[in-house]
Amino acid sequence: MCGRVYIKSTLEGLFRAFSFAQREAGAEALANQFPRYNGAPTLFYPIIIRDVVRDPDVFGPTFVSARWGLVPGWMKQQRPGRPPINARREGISTNGMFKWAYANRRCLIPIDGFFEWKDIYSTGKNKQPYAIAMRSGEPFALAGIWETWRDPETDEDIRTFCVITCPPNDMMATIHDRMPVILHPEDYARWLSPEPDPYDLMTPFPAELMTMWPIDRKVGSPKNDSADILDPVD
């Protein structure tokens, strides 16, 4: 799964790294929230979608603001509990929760890295967290899907998203049985295109292009959101 990310770039730095995308005002308003070293679900993130329907002057890839945790637009009210933060690639085109967003509303989720936990003693009580990033140190994009849901209590439209996961590559397999789908830059345009089922893009990212290192267990609390979260430990 993928349940925690980090963005050590400023928002302006992220915009520069993905300069092919335009900016919506809602995304620019997130500037004071980044860098974010311990990003959890329910928070708002800058994601890239194909276009912004409500603004006829904006076309093509666009940075927008969205909340992590997918709530389908057809849902009359949000279900109790946490909305799904991940969608498995297996069956995504037929799963009623995800299929419409997958066919019509795919997105890029720019980040600098993510966290995963390894169960050291197979008891679930003593897990070692790891930070995972590109070996180059550059920002990269996860594959996601998004929806717009209208809150019946406030009548507010809320854009939401989740991260697609796939089986692990060789590196990730040493700590977990899933990993987020990471897209190559040359595949961004196709992922955002109207193509209904680009299933072949949802493959494990090459392990040799990635790196990971153990970090302190304080990352377990989203309240700990400082740069030293990323410091390696023995």
Alpha-carbon Rg for the chain in angstroms:
17
CA–CA separation, 132 and 81 (whole Å): 28
Please say if 2 is a catalytic residue: yes
Other CB atoms within a 10 A radius of the CB of residue 72 amount to 20
Catalytic residue among 2, 107, 162, 166: 2
Please say if 116 is a catalytic residue: yes
46: nearest Cα among 4, 11, 6: 11
Could you give phi then psi for residue 187, rounded to 5 degrees? -100, 0
The three-state secondary structure class of 201 is helix
The three-state secondary structure class of 122 is coil
Other CB atoms within a 10 A radius of the CB of residue 2 amount to 26
**Sign of the Cα pseudo-torsion (145, 180, 22, 188, in order):** negative
DSSP string, 43-69: SEEEEEES--TT-TT--SSEEEEEEES
Instruction: Using the structure block, give the residue that is written with the tokens 């190559």.
Output: 184
CA–CA separation, 215 and 38 (whole Å): 12
Contact of 200 with 162, CB cutoff 8 Å: no
Catalytic residue among 24, 107, 116, 147: 116
- The set of catalytic residues is 2, 116
